[in-house]
Structure 1
């Protein structure tokens, strides 16, 4: 089957998305390392736990929310556990389940890093767009996210399929 190549506008949109996401994520990661001593993926993990009831989530739920493989999530949780920012607990209603739990130190890192994080997000994206552009970007990316989450799980490496499999963590 012959590829359906991108036209000029499609290529411009694709390259702009790649460049923007890479540049912004690099700035965010740098700020988070300076202000909180954590990487961007670790910060996102801490935020997901902070937003969860009781500051705890099953590892499978956390992996699915972060779109991470089980091994990738296990590595990040282990690093955060060594730093005292997260701990693991057995799941009381499922002996095979493991919970990731935000510690007081993890919550403190979030409070320390959050002001700089929101500043970088605003300076690098939000404040550069007017309200109509912001709504259009949110709508467009929301549509893409919904499509990708509904598409066959695990496309591109099996990460989602593995992350959502409750039989083993």
Structure 2
């Protein structure tokens, strides 16, 4: 028998969902002004942080918690727009290496300052230091619990 949520738990869960949806909508609109989607940004950020701006597709998928099909379709769209390149891995005929192009790096440099400012304005600046620590602690617990359920690497 399921353990139904109490009224207070339900309100907490719904508040989280509404916060996430509204935050995502505002952030997506900001990125859209630069011709990027949230999905584009989610992939450009880890590529920009990687050595040489390159990651194996398998590593990139793990980094953003996406399945192979979703990643492949998004990378195809981004490659068409010149944001990334995909080439076969030299050491593995089945592997793909994804690299950030100069165009991808340029649009990320243009979009990131506004994006970070929105994150700060809408999320970070709304919390005290104690609340920020509590959010981090909760996030770490949820990540660990979800990884143990999905079998994803820690």
TM category, shorter: over 0.9
For structure 2, the residue ranges without an aligned partner over 5 or more in a row are: none
Match of 1:42 in 2: 40
Match of 1:148 in 2: 146
Runs of 4+ in 1 over 4 A off after TM superposition: none
Partner residue of 1:117 out of 111, 115, 118: 115
Is the partner of 1:6 in helix, strand or coil? coil
1:138-164, CA deviations, whole angstroms, 9 ceiling, x for partnerless residues?
1111210122123233xxxxxx69xxx
1:128 and 1:68 map into 2 onto residues whose CA distance is 29
Is the partner of 1:68 in helix, strand or coil? coil
1:26-84, CA deviations, whole angstroms, 9 ceiling, x for partnerless residues?
111110010x2110111010001111111111111111111112111111111110111
Match of 2:60 in 1: 62
Match of 1:26 in 2: 25
Pair 1:8-2:7 in alignment = yes
1:75-111, CA deviations, whole angstroms, 9 ceiling, x for partnerless residues?
1111110111100011111111001100111010110
1:113 and 1:52 map into 2 onto residues whose CA distance is 18
For structure 1, the residue ranges without an aligned partner over 5 or more in a row are: 154-159, 162-169
TM-score (norm 1): 0.86
TM-score (norm 2): 0.94
Match of 2:70 in 1: 72
2:150 and 2:28 map into 1 onto residues whose CA distance is 30
Match of 1:157 in 2: none
Is the partner of 1:60 in helix, strand or coil? helix
Pair 1:101-2:79 in alignment = no
